[in-house]
Structure 1
Amino acid sequence: MSSTWDSGDEPPHRRIGPLGWLRIVLRGVPLAILVFGGLAILLLVRLVERPVHGFHRPWTPHITRLVCRAALFLTGIKFRSEGAPMTKRGAVVANHCSWLDIFALNARKRVYFVSKSEVANWPGIGWLARSTGTVFIDRDPRQARAQKELFEKRLLAGHKLLFFPEGTSSDGIRILPFKSTLFAAFFTPELKDALYVQPVTLSYQPPEEADPRTYGWWGDMDFAPHLLRTLATSPQGAVTVTYHDPLRVSEFSGRKDLAAACEKIVRSGLKLSPEAQAKLSTQR
């Protein structure tokens, strides 16, 4: 995982008025009950699932998917998807825009996120991540071998691991260069001929006349203010998840070639409004 990306130019922060605070309460309270209530149910189900199925999780991912789909509904953000999630064994790679990505990527297909180890210690988010089977990656090179073995174990168990090759989140109107480090795990003799990688593009459409980077969360932005502004927004925008055709790992010479191919495909699927295109062109 890399250091945080920063554009040096954040969207203007609009003041939250009385109606905005009312929306925060009307959306935020049910959202908290949904997320933490769903977590409680998931943990209870896991008490039975673990001794019966061990490393496999045939039941609890369905709870995660339902909670994430309902969470987007409660925030008012419209969810759209294109293409088909792959059924083959392998991993998923996507661009990274916001904490909202967690809900959007889980809303249609059960996946297991790969995240930096620091996230495990974040209040609230860390608990959710651990309970839903997130794989945590340590930046310490001494842990590289153990992490690679864990990757292989999860992939061979049929888990769809999802990671963000950019290594950090951006503003949602651009794709950062993909890093190839984590792609190396796919090229071990045990995995290379059996795995596929599916590129997925996340595209956020902001509300009319809003900054095209409204839903982006990057740099030194604090989570709580961004969450409050998102809940206060009305009308809301939408998120589109585009599932591209899976790539067979064995058809690539190595991790760099596979990473480059995934980046090109994910970049091609990014849907930008005219306002976003204009904003991006002024920053280049």
Structure 2
Amino acid sequence: MTEQLARVNGIELCHESFGDRAGRPLLLIMGLAAPMIWWDEEFCETLAARGFHVIRFDNRDAGRSTRLHGRADLAQAYLLRRSPYTLADMADDAAGLLTELGIPAAHVVGASMGGMIAQTLAIRHPSRVLSLTSIMSSTGGRFVGRPSARALPVLLTAPPKDRESYVETLMRTFRLIGSPAYPFDEARMRNRAERTYDRGLPPGGALRQLAAIMADRDRAPGLRRTKLPALVVHGARDPLVHVSGGRATARAIPGAALDIVPGMGHDLPRAVWPRVIRGIERIALDRPA
């Protein structure tokens, strides 16, 4: 299916789907400054082959979705919890997209910031979430999931404006935060970086998204009230969101399964896909559509 635009909450979200529409609906939510193509086509097609109707989309301020405006002040976000928009707004975007697509409820998978949005979706719109998979994410608690000193600049550095510099910067970033126990797939990462740049980099978008993360409150109390099958996946070697964030998420969600992947950092190496896909499928079977 080709990319399409859906009008949701006063903005447009670019989205794409894989598999039979009669399959089990599965919504994929990507992370900070990351367009939907960071959910690799092969990953999506593998899920579709297992009976899922897979939907991926660009969050607001990413890819080909609406570019917002407003200056993000990270100090105000952290200290005063003020941001141009919130994770709740982004979760409402996801719920609105499901409505526009005529999907009452879906299995939801989120990575990094996408995991935070997925958690918020489950808290704010529990009837829309059949199961939750939170990958390399955290609860928003300020003493868990904190980045290492060497990874912190990744969050605070604005992306370069020219294509070549952006590509090389993203390559260096994932060499830093990626999985030390798995080979770095240079060709795949270069292709991802080039396609990301070509699809568009909203000016200030990454900082506005980061402000939304920093302004959010601890989701653990809300997660404790959820009643749904849940899986938490986290890399044991994640330098950007410490594994304590994944452990805290699993503790907060009643009955959640926790899968700590040895040697995995803040990415999803191809070799880990079968393990993650089996986990998604397993919890989806606990709550059929």
TM-score by structure 2 length?
Answer: 0.31
Q: Which has the larger radius of gyration?
A: 1
Q: Which is bigger in relative contact order (C-alpha 8 A, separation at least 6)?
A: 1
- State the TM-score, normalized to the length of structure 1: 0.31
